[in-house]
Structure 1
């Protein structure tokens, strides 16, 4: 019987990954295309990628595929051949990680979802085929020389905080589904201006560009391959880098360096820092920015309360964590939903 799901514990898999000596390449890709039977598509892909020892997170839906993975470098050609055997994925642009240590994922998860990126769009007349125009790195740099060009960041607030393009407008939200109507509302007086949208790898800004056109905007562009592809192209082509700071990524790295600047601050002491971490307390796991000094001071915890908690006996910790729903536990500085100052 073919393997269709992982049956090894996450802890064991991570330990195995850390012991690996072979090189791995972190890749992201997506494509909007119709999949008639997402479950069957998912199962066939799992069998193929499991054989190639691919790790990562892939979402499959009727509207297409969204993937962030790591592939043994020795298997890259076989992996590419497999993608090319699927007609809608043939010769697809693959975004190679910029700052890659090869330890980004340690398990393969392929999930069937309603959407490959949750958008909250209910209007049945919305059509992804009517999307904005691609701009490459060179075109992006040229268009943004015009002060009338508007650049919109379609990522979450914590992504924007550590890095973004010069003069980019933040849509201050926790989720993409909230951002779409907010972007339309914020730009309602600029319907005839050039608007460039961008995100990490292209999937969100591509859908956002289609939504803006659907909402009556005229000159909408989106950055091809997002920040990741931009960073690779400026190096290859010797272009000026208009991105400042770090690009947040949704894997174990939590970020890759694009610009040399550190534009964020430690959420505990306020020193310049752009290192995202998860609180060491398993009952918290708050995602926040922490410098090395505060990591040592608080034992990698977000607060004295969590620091005290992790030093309790393990069984007592487990008992106290029962029934705790962490939800989307992310420090939102702009809304001050959590502690006014971390560490206290």
Structure 2
């Protein structure tokens, strides 16, 4: 079942009718905002440029986001941790280690035991958080390097709106006990390999890390599955591209993909994946299609797709016996509908994000690459 081959023949641009209304509303909003005075825009933006949402708290570190903010939000987050345990990790941004240590201290002061994963990709943290009850990732995902943020996880999923209010509003907590900190090694690679199974033919794969956290996991998983890998842009200090593979030209990977069977590009925290084939960067929808093809092979039939995902992906799923429901745009909205409908797989076309709920309640670019 070669979705990439099919996608080269399809027009991946068609979207559901509902998406047309969404896109028009976004265009209209942009037109009005662009006409505003900068001072007015800033006055309407709340915490300056800090973004507070169920997807996480993000901002330019040292400007919109400070260590004082980290202490506050992580202290409040502790009120949501009923298991008494929390896994913590960070991406490769220069500010991440400092923020991680501050976050760990804030959580431990409330009697929570912290399991420190160090520098590791977001999907790995989500996987471990299912076991420990809570998790925190220091990341700003695909945003520019000067940004950073906090992504909160409860019971293996991102926090909801009610839980966000707990995080951003001051909480009174019992500080009579200090939690312990332990190092933790993840079994993500072994668990993912067991689910995916061996890949026949020893395909050659160019892996563009983009200087991100996928570097410790993605090549290892692919090699364990039987692939041969050629890794590029492994370190952030000498990466030739930006943190968002969906918007970057991926010039290096285009070249390397022609010497390999396929190329994969990750964002800084490893939840997004973009495919390059024969020197051509594919639409993020192709990533969703690849995940859907594997999910169908595994016997899954119930899918959720965001409304900005190509109808060609929906067509592919239905032609192979699956059923599709549409969600609002955004990972949190996709996951919410997955949980409400007990769906077995999901995708967000605009971000190159595929979700397999049996394994993870988040976009998982690393799992999808297998």
Does the alignment reach a TM-score above 0.5? no
TM-score by length of 1: 0.28
TM-score by length of 2: 0.27
If asked which structure has higher relative contact order (CA below 8 Å, sep 6+), I would say 2
Q: 1 or 2, which has the higher helix percentage?
A: 2
